[in-house]
Amino acid sequence: MGMASTFHGLELGKRGLYAQQSALNTTSHNITNVNTIGYSRQRAEMQATNAIPYPGMHGDKSPAQLGTGVEVNKLIRLREEFLDVQFRNEYKNLGYHEAKSGTFTRIEELLNEPSEDGLAHTMDEFWKGWQELVKNPDSAAVRSVVRQKGVAVAQTFNQIMDSLDQMQNDLQNIIKTKTEEVNSLASQISILNEQISRRIVNDYQPNDLLDQRDVLIDQLSKIVDIDVKNSSNGMVDISVGNGALVTGKTSNKLTIGFDQNSGLVDPAEIKIGGQTVDLGSGELLGNIESYGIMGGNRNSTIPYYKDKINELAMTFANAVNEVHLSGLNLDNISGVSNTKVEFFTGSSAKDLKVNPEIMKSLNLIAAAKDEGGGQSSKGNGELAQEIANIKFKDLNFTGTTSTADDFYRNIIGQLGIDSQESQRMQNNYEGIIKQVENRRQSVSGVSLDEEVANMIKFQQAYNAAARIVTSVDQCLDKVINGMGRVGL
């Protein structure tokens, strides 16, 4: 008659103690990592160990199997891969719109409209200066006011362009930093790939390394549009466009090239390992578009607005100059000289200024029109009136004819709409990201209540297993020390 081993019960109790202890350890690992970013909760998977035959009383056939206890055969990591995919698909859009709306907001702050200090107001003041000159064409005080208002307009244009240049400089640095970040993440991911594959080959489940790698991939997915594919031995391959950024244990470098002439980003020079790639979306592309990309048109944000401001400045200055040159200044009227000068000089909004000659002599401001024979009088303010009327005159802008005021208001309206749209998109994606992140947390996040309940459950099981050992010990004590001693 076969029986289980004498010490079977002790072994069984021991296994119970071990298994419950492992579960308790896993629980405390979860609790201590409750605030660890990217941590996925783990669970000790318990399984009954292989049973042994338990022969019957009347033969050696085995009518039953005797249980042998429990073991922890796996520490599993609770995570849904499709939620990661979803998260990363949305995260790049959040990154893109964050970068764009940041730029739009800064341009809005810079142009500072509608207000009493923006360009629109400065130009209004300029026209008003000429209106005053209509009434007092010979007054040095009024002439000096006209000159100062001209200086204010020119300086406002200069300052807008300088600030846009400064923004571009900042963005160029951001683009470089973000590129380095992509390369650093790619290299860290390839190193983790290597560590993970070594453990997987040896049949280990490297849960915490997988978490670390997922955190890095999440970060990367905000900067560029990535495609993540599982490869051998638990490794992942990551590509951007058709460029391989991470292939198993190796990574390639992302490089961004700037056009020599325009200084803008050349899309043909966005490369990974020598291969031109399309960034798709993400924070890096958002910053590149903000900074300016060749052939980007409206998507090339700062260059687009720079062009508009430039066009406004030069069309405005040329219109003023054209009328100004057709008139007579005080020196012409008094016969001191025949020289006529432009009111503004400069070739762009960046270097626009009031003619240095006028800065030297107020007499060179023309307010009068020819009264016949190239002569005029000091009290003639007809030209000043014509200049003041440029405010209402339709000027020729690229693809449109409108007043300078209208053209500028269109720029502001356009900016407002662009900015509003990108803020709305950013808000949307923040909401979506929040949803997906919640769902991911719902699967992978540590719940303290749950862990504490589990802790008590495992603790009780541990205590009970210990009782089993005690109980078997008492049985053995009876057999060893108590049997055959009748009457003693």
Question: Footprint of another protein on this chain (CB under 8 A)?
Answer: 34-35, 104-105, 108-109, 113-114, 120-121, 124-125, 127-128, 131-132, 134-136, 138, 368, 371, 376-382, 385, 388-389, 391-392, 405, 408-410, 412-413, 415-417, 419-420, 423, 430, 434, 437-439, 441-443, 445-450, 452-453, 456
CB of 273 closer than 8 Å to CB of 264: no
Q: Which of 159-175 are b and which e, b meaning 16 or more Cβ less than 10 Å from the residue's Cβ?
A: ebbeebeebbeebbebb
CB of 306 to another protein, least distance (A): 17
Tell me the C-alpha distance between 434 and 78, whole Å: 20
Minimum CB distance to another protein smaller for 180 or for 450: 450
Q: Phi/psi of residue 133, each to 5°?
A: -65, -30
Q: What is the DSSP letter of 61?
A: S
Minimum CB distance to another protein smaller for 62 or for 112: 112
CB of 33 to another protein, least distance (A): 11
Minimum CB distance to another protein smaller for 203 or for 449: 449
Minimum CB distance to another protein smaller for 60 or for 109: 109
CB of 246 closer than 8 Å to CB of 189: yes
Q: Phi/psi of residue 244, each to 5°?
A: -85, 110
Minimum CB distance to another protein smaller for 248 or for 445: 445
Tokens of 140: 């040095």
CB of 320 to another protein, least distance (A): 17
CB of 415 to another protein, least distance (A): 6
Minimum CB distance to another protein smaller for 240 or for 304: 304
CB of 408 to another protein, least distance (A): 8
SS (H, E, C) 265-285: EEEEEEEECCEECCCCCHHHH
Tokens of 148: 């100062």
Q: Which of 120-130 are b and which e, b meaning 16 or more Cβ less than 10 Å from the residue's Cβ?
A: bbbbeebbebb
Please choose, from the candidates 158, 414, 422, the residue with its C-alpha nearest in 3D space to the C-alpha of residue 289: 422
CB of 377 to another protein, least distance (A): 4
Minimum CB distance to another protein smaller for 182 or for 384: 384
Q: What is the signed CA dihedral for 183, 186, 188, 192, rounded to 10 degrees?
A: -170
CB of 435 to another protein, least distance (A): 10
